[in-house]
Chains A and B, each alone.
Chain A
C-alpha cells in the first residue's frame, strides 16, 4: 500500500518516458536531493567530507563507470585502478600545464584522456572474451601504474608523489588544504548528479540496449545488426570516462596528493569490482549501494567497535576484515543479484504491504 502505482496513468509519451515515472520514486528522489543539496552543505565538516561523503561519492562515480562496462556490456575489467591513475595524472598534467583552466574542464578533459586510453586497452575485447579479457585488462593495470611511476614526465620531473595545486571554481576554492568542505562536497555532488543522469539515460536508450544485447549474446546481437567493435569500444570509452573523472576527483578533491603505486594499485580494481558485484551488476542504483557498502562499512564498523564499544583499534581492524568478508559472502548468498535487487524486492513487498502473499 505504501508503494503502489495504481492510478498513476501516463497520458502521453513524455510521461511514459520519464526517468522516474512512479510518484513515490519522485518523492524519494526529491527528498534525497533536498538533503544532499540543502541540508548537508550546511552541516558538513572535514570529517564528514573527507572520511565519509567524498569517498562514497567518488567510489559511486567509479563504480558507475565500471558497471557500464561490466554490468551493462559484459566486458570484465580489472584495470580500474590503472584507469583511475590515468585520470589523476592527466588532470595533474593539465592543471599544471594550464593553470588558468577551470577545474571542471580539467576533470572533464582527464575523463576524455582516460576514455582514449580505455579504448586502446579495449581493443583486444573484440578477440578476447570473459576471463581472458580480465587478464588483458589486468595488464593495463600493471602497465599504467608502472608507467606513471617510471616516466618522470608524468610527475613533472619532481617527486613521484603528485600534489594538487589549489584551484578555484566560481570563486570558491575546491582543491588544496584551504578549501571548505562544503565547496568540495558540492563540486563533487554536481558531477555525481549530472553524470548519474547521463548514465540513466544512456543505459535505457539505444546505446544501453545495444550494450546489453552484446552482454547477453554477442553473436545474436551481431545478427541483429549491432556492430560489436563500435559498441564494445564505446562501452570502454564511456566507462573509462567515468573512472577517469573519479580518479581526477580522488586526486584533486579527496586526497590532494596521490602516488600511483599506492592510491591506484590492483586492490582498487578489486575494490570497485566488489562494489558493483555487491551493489548489483547492470544497475545504476546498484553502483551507489555497492560503493556505500564498500566505502562506508569499514568506517561504520570502526565507529561502532572502537568509539562506542571501546575496542583496541587493531583488534577492531581484524574483526573488520572478518566481518566485511563474511558480509560479502552473506549478501552474495542471500541475494546474488546484489543490493539493487534487494531494493527491488523491498519495493515489491511494499506494494503488497500489509497483505503479503
Chain B
C-alpha cells in the first residue's frame, strides 16, 4: 500500500541521503509531490472538474515543456474527496508523506475541509493554499504560518462588492437606506461574509437581508419568494455547485435585474450561468483573474498537453473561468517551489521550505509576462504577516449572446481598513483558544 511504500522510500531515501551527505551534501529528488484534493464526483463535481483539470494540465505542461519546475518533474497526485470532509482527512493523511518531497502543498477546495486541515497541516508543517476561500483570518500569517488564502479573502471580496455598488449608485453615501440581500450556502463557507457585511452595513447605513440556502441548494423557491417580498436593491450570492445555477434561474424567473446580482468568485463560472440561458445575461460575479484562453500559457497547454492527447478534460473547455482558476493555483504552487529552491539553495525542499516560497511570492507585470499570463491578474505580493495579498478584485459580467465572461469594472481595492481589523481580531481569538503564540515576522 501507498503508506508502507512511502515509508520504505523515505527510509531508503534517508539512508541514501545520509551516505550522499558526506560527499556532496546534495541528493536531488526525481520529482516533487503536489497532491490535489479534487471532486470529480458528487454534487459539486461540475465545478470541481474544471478546477482540477486546470491544475493538472498546467503541471503536465511544465513537465512536458520545461522538464518540470527547476528541472524536477512535478507529480500531481489527485485524491477524490467528493467534497466530503471525512474523505478529505483520509486523503490528507494518505498523501502527506507521499514521494520524496512529501506533500509540498494541499489545496482542499472546500472551506469546510480547509477548517479541518488547518490545525493538522500547521503541525505537520505543510502549507495549505486555499486560494480565495477557506478561513478568512488565516490571512494573518503570524497566527497561521502555513495557511495561505491570497489573492483575497471573502471579507475583502464582500467589501469590494460594497464599494462597487457604491460606485454604481453614485457614491458611498447613496448606500444609506438601500437593501442588500445575501443569498448564501448555509455552511461555514456561505456565512463567511456576514460579519463584514454587517459591519459595513452599520458604517454605510444599508440594510442586510440574510437568505440561507441549504446544501446542495436545488430547492430555492422559498428563498426567492422572500426576495420578491423583501425587494432588495442588490443581491450578493455566496454559492457553490448546483446552488449557483438554480439561484440564477430563480432570479431570472422573478425578473430580478441581473446587473444588480453579484456572485462571489465561486459563483461565476460558465456552468453557473449556462442553464439559465439568455435570461442570465448581465449577471455579475467577482473574479481574481481574467477569463478566456487568449494567453500564452494556455496556448502552451494546448500545444504540449492536448495536442499529444494528454489533456485532463476537453480542449474546448480550456480557458473556462474555473479552469483558469485551477491553473492559477498550479502557477502559484510552481512559483512557490521556484522561490523555495532559490531561498534555501537546494532543490530538496519539503513543506517547511515551501512555506517560505509562498511567503516570497512577489509577482509583477513582468513576471506574468514571463509566465505567459500577461494581464491575467494584478501583481501580487505575499509577506510573512500578510498571507492574503492586497487582492484587487474585478467584477466580470456574463454575456449570454456571446457565451463569455467579460471584466466590466476596474480592479477594486478592498476596504483594507475595515477588513484587516476584523482579521486581526479573529486571528487573535483563534490564537488564544488554541494556545498559539503569534510568531514575529521581522
Contact = CB atoms under 8 A, between A and B. Distances in A.
Interface of A: 45-48, 50-51, 55, 149, 158-161, 163, 165-166, 176-178, 254-259, 261-263, 265, 298-299, 303, 306-308, 312-314, 316-318, 321
Given A161-B112, A178-B123, A255 B85 contact: yes
22 contacts: A47-B93, A47-B94, A51-B89, A51-B90, A149-B186, A158-B429, A161-B115, A166-B435, A176-B434, A254-B89, A256-B116, A259-B188, A262-B84, A262-B85, A262-B215, A265-B215, A299-B90, A306-B2, A313-B40, A316-B80, A317-B82, A318-B41
Nearest to A48: B3
Contact of A47 (B3, B82, B191, B435): B3
Contact of A177 (B1, B40, B119): B119
Contact of B115 (A47, A257, A306): A257
A303 B1 contact: yes
B122 interface: yes
A256 B119 contact: yes
Nearest to A156: B433
A284 B245 CA distance: 46
A312 B38 CA distance: 12
B86 interface: yes
B85 A160 contact: no
Contact of A313 (B78, B86, B116, B214): B78
A166 B434 CA distance: 7
Given A163-B115, A166-B435, A177-B123, A262 B89 contact: no
B164 to A, nearest CB: 26
A263 B434 contact: no
Contacts of A306: 2
A57 to B, nearest CB: 14
Interface of B: 1-3, 5, 38, 40-41, 78-80, 82, 84-87, 89-90, 93-94, 96, 112, 115-116, 119-120, 122-123, 186-188, 191, 214-215, 429, 433-435
Nearest to B77: A313
B93 A46 contact: yes
Q: Describe B's contact surface by its main secondary structure.
A: helix
Contacts of B116: 255-257
B119 A51 contact: no
A158 B84 CA distance: 22
B78 A259 contact: no
Contacts of B40: 313-314, 317
Contacts of B90: 50-51, 55, 299
Contacts of A47: 3, 93-94
B122 A177 contact: yes
A115 to B, nearest CB: 25
Given A51-B89, A255-B89, A259-B115, 10 more contacts: A47-B94, A48-B3, A161-B187, A255-B116, A256-B120, A259-B187, A261-B187, A262-B187, A303-B1, A308-B1
B215 A261 contact: yes
Given A149-B186, A177-B123, A256-B119, A313 B80 contact: yes
Given A51-B94, A262-B215, A307-B2, A163 B38 contact: no
A313 B86 CA distance: 17
B85 A263 contact: yes
Contacts of A257: 115-116, 119
Contacts of B86: 55, 255, 263
B213 to A, nearest CB: 11
Q: Which residue of B3, B5, B87, B188 has the most chain A CB atoms within 10 A of its CB atom?
A: B188
Contacts of B93: 46-47, 50-51
B2 to A, nearest CB: 4
Q: Which residue of A47, A55, A158, A307 has the most chain B CB atoms within 10 A of its CB atom?
A: A47
A259 B187 CA distance: 7
Nearest to A165: B433
B2 A303 contact: yes
A159 B426 CA distance: 10
Contacts of A318: 41
A50 B89 contact: yes
B119 A163 contact: yes
Contacts of A55: 86, 90
B89 A159 contact: no
A318 B42 CA distance: 10
A177 B126 CA distance: 13
A320 to B, nearest CB: 9
B291 to A, nearest CB: 25
A303 B115 CA distance: 26
A314 B78 contact: yes
A306 B429 CA distance: 41
A248 to B, nearest CB: 16
Given A255-B86, A262-B215, A314 B188 contact: no
Contacts of B186: 149, 261
Nearest to A164: B119
Contacts of B84: 262
A307 B186 CA distance: 36
For the complex of A and B, 7 pairs with smallest distance between CB atoms: A177-B119, A161-B188, A314-B40, A177-B123, A51-B90, A307-B2, A313-B80
A293 B79 CA distance: 21
Contact of B41 (A165, A166, A177, A314): A314
A161 B87 CA distance: 17
Nearest to A146: B214
A354 B167 CA distance: 87
Contacts of B38: 313-314
B284 to A, nearest CB: 27
A307 B90 CA distance: 14
A256 B214 CA distance: 23
A204 B94 CA distance: 41
Nearest to A51: B90
Contacts of B80: 313-314, 316-317
Nearest to A159: B188
A58 to B, nearest CB: 10
A54 B51 CA distance: 31
B187 A160 contact: yes
Nearest to A318: B41
Contacts of A177: 119-120, 122-123
A265 B87 CA distance: 15
Contacts of B214: 261
A128 B429 CA distance: 47
A239 B429 CA distance: 37
Contact of B191 (A159, A254, A316): A159
Nearest to A303: B1
Nearest to B40: A314
